Chain A
Amino acid sequence: MTGTIFVIQLLNALFYAAVLFLIAAGLSLIYGVMRIVNLAHGSLYALGAYVTAWAVGGAVGAAVAGTLGQIGLFLLLPIGAIAVGVLGAVIEPTLLRPLYRRSEEYHLLITFGLLMIIEDMLKLIFGGTPLTASNIMDGLGSISVGALPYPTYNLLVIAIGVAAAVGLWWFVYRTKFGVILRAISQDRRMAAALGINVGRVYVQAFAIGCFITGLGGAIVVPAQAAVLGMGVEWLIVAFVVVVIGGLGSLEGALVGALIVGIAHVAGIQFFAEIELAVLYLIATVVLMVRPTGLFGRA
Chain B
Amino acid sequence: MGSLTRLGMFLAEEGGEHGGGGVEAGITSGWAVENVWLILVLPFVAALLIVFLGKANEKWGHRLAIAMMGYVFFHGTWLWILTMTDGVLYEASYVIGDLGSGFAFELGWVVDGLSSMMFFVVGTVALLVYIYAVGYMKGEIRYAGFFSAISLFAGAMLVLVAAPNLVQLIIGWELVGVASYLLIGHYWEEKENSSAGMKAFYVNKVADVGLILGAIMLSASVGTFNITGILDAAEEGAGELSSVAVVGALLLFFGAMGKSAQFPLHVWLPDAMAGPTPVSALMHAATMVTAGVYLLGRMFPLYEGLAADARPWIMLIGGLTLFLTGLIALVQWDLKKILAYSTLSQLGYMVLAMGAGAYTAGLFHLFTHAFFKALLFLGAGSVIHAVHSNDMRDMGGMRKPMPITYWTFVIGSLALAGIPPLAGFFSKDEILAGLTHAEGPSTAMVLGIGIDTFFFWTAVFGAAITAFYMTRAVFLTFHGEYKGHGHPHESPASMSAPLVVLGVFSVGAGFLNVPGVFTGMTKWLEIRANEFYEFHPESLDLGVALTGLTAGVVGIAIGWWLFARDADTQAERDRLHIPGLYPLLENKYYLDDFYLAIVAFIKGPLARFIDWFNGHVIDAVINGAGLVGVWLGRAVYGVDQKGIDAAVNGLAGAAGASGAVFRRAQTGRVQQYAAAFILGVVVLVISFVFVL
Q: Note whether A and B form a binding pair.
A: no
User: Chain A: residues with CB nearer than 8 A to chain B?
Assistant: none
